[in-house]
Amino acid sequence: MSPVTRPVLGCVGQPRLLAGLDAADRLDRAGHLSVHGALPPYPPEGLVALAEDIGLGGRGGAGFPFARKLRAVMRSARGRDGRTAVVVNASEGEPSCLKDAALLLHVPHLVLDGALLAAAALGAEDVVVGVTREDVEQSLGAAVAERGPVGRRVRVVRLPERFVTGEGTALVKGLDGGPALPSGQKVRTAERGLGGLPTLLSNAETYAHLAVAARIGAQEYRTAGLPAEPGTTLLTVAGSTVVEVPLGTSLAYVLDLCGTVPGQGVLVGGYHGRWLAPAAAREAALSRRSLAAYDAVLGAGAVLPLPEDTCPAGEVARVTRWMAEESAGQCGPCVRGLPALADAVEQLVGGGGGAALEAVQARMRGVLGRGACAHPDGTSAFVASALAVFPDEFRDHALGSGCGRPVLGALPLPADENPERLVVDWTLCKGHGLCVDLLPDVVRLDADGYPAQGVMPVPGRLRPKALRAVRRCPALALRIQE
């Protein structure tokens, strides 16, 4: 995700987390208090009861009940001199997610309110926010300065922008000054987290909901959403629009509000999520129960519709390769298994025949349940879901016919900072077309059979194919430009 990407904001119904942004781009401390009012104090058991009453679950992916986290930290603290810490996970290392960035760029005090409310209930001395974006770090730093002394140490720590940074043990290690990589151990941060202390670790949106509920009370909070799943949630739609919606809202309605449609299918939950076929996307509601019927979860709130004019198989291959490159590199399933899975998917998409599909299935089985963290399982599930929803696409590609559509990058990935370019010498080009056979993701032909563009960016992963295209051009009309 580019560090300058700023989401477009929207809402269904009356906003809560995004309240006040119709009149201001960012709520400073005074604007925040004007919109939301002062934050009332809560005793420890009162805060636990509030979280239970509103059914507050983590909004970072797993949806773990927040009240249970609070109780677990309280129990652990009794045997550790009562010392605890609070951590806000705002790393958001997936390029399809922008909701936490939206909160911290526009309403940072709401997140800080929730974290400080939890810290007061736990008696925690330290509140640490882990971020990966420079602009988010600056916005939070300004918010901390606007509040003045709060009786607790509030720190903002910038960590590497990687997919695995947001894993709990990786985040804590990074905040403690180590490498932001998963520990590979089943460590509960509620027992041993920041500095070895019992630590309450939750997502930025979760703390923002806590701050809203503390002000309006459980009864009012429940007036939005479903009886079993009250409140609102933030979604990142198509990698660019962050919209606040009541839980239970129709997925199709949200897509329409954001100016898009289900297209060929919708990926829900991000790159560790599941694909919904168009019919399922039109029927599904944004709730745990509704999505569970399609073996899907809302996860971190990413919703990615796939347009009709892009190649599903190519999009999946592109993301699978990126996921393999984003591994922690600490265990066999990540070091060898995920790159091998990405190779197998690319071979299938490139026309590897029936054996290619069997190879993909074998590579998926080879990583399941064997990783030091959930990354191999999540990546395998992403591929498996795509195979189930786009079976004809993958079969046609495996047999060599393909779909004939280019890969448009509808599933967002970080852009190469300095991509190489494939350059056509028009004085030499004879329109042989070998370049598009080797680089269908880069080269498109015009109506006369010549490259439609004279200069085309080449993603790093496709450099070997670009070099092959340069060597094989019969007219010697291609070159790579740094």
pLDDT band at 418 (very low <50, low <70, confident <90, very high): low
For residue 254, what are the CA distances in angstroms to 42, 261, 369, 386?
Answer: 35, 9, 34, 22
Q: 312-398 architecture in CATH?
A: Up-down Bundle (1.20)
Q: Do domains 312-398 and 420-481 have the same CATH topology?
A: no
Confidence at 132, pLDDT banded by 50, 70, 90:
very high
Task: Identify the residue whose tokens are 């677990």.
Answer: 72
- Which of 456, 448, 400, 409 is CA-nearest to residue 310? 409
Q: How confident is the model at residue 1 (pLDDT cuts 50, 70, 90)?
A: very low
CATH of domain 232-306: 3.10.20.600
Check if the beta carbon of residue 381 is closer than 8 Å to that of residue 272. Answer: yes
CA distance 313 to 99: 27
Distances (CA, A) of 359 to 116, 295, 301, 332, 354: 50, 24, 31, 18, 9
Please give the Cα distance from 276 to 265 (Å, whole number): 6
Least confident of 110-114, 145-149, 311-315, 441-445: 441-445
pLDDT band at 3 (very low <50, low <70, confident <90, very high): very low
Does domain 420-481 fall into CATH 3.10.105.10?
A: no
pLDDT of residue 273: 93
Helical H segments across 85-225, by residue range: 99-106, 108-122, 134-147, 168-175, 204-221
Among residues 270, 267, 266, the alpha carbon closest in space to that of 299 is found at 270
The residue among 458 and 256 whose pLDDT is bigger is 256
What is the tens place of the pLDDT at every residue in 353-385?
888 899 999 999 999 888 878 889 999 999 999
CB 131 within 8 A of CB 91: yes
* Statement: residue 80 has pLDDT above 80: no
Sign of the C-alpha dihedral computed for residues 250, 256, 261 and 267 taken in this order: negative
Q: How confident is the model at residue 460 (pLDDT cuts 50, 70, 90)?
A: low
Per the document, the length of the chain is 482
* pLDDT for the residue 379: 94
Give the domain ranges of the chain.
16-221, 232-306, 312-398, 420-481
- Confidence check: pLDDT of 459 > 90: no
Digit-coded pLDDT (tens) for 387-407: 999 999 999 999 888 888 888
Which superfamily is assigned to 16-221 in CATH? Answer: NADH-ubiquinone oxidoreductase 51kDa subunit (3.40.50.11540)
5 confidence band (pLDDT: 50, 70, 90)? low
pLDDT at 278: 97
The answer to whether residues 187 and 159 touch, using CB atoms and an 8 Å cutoff, is no
Structure tokens at 132: 């990966």
- Closest to 323 measured CA to CA, from 303, 300, 301, 346: 346
Q: What is the pLDDT of residue 461?
A: 61
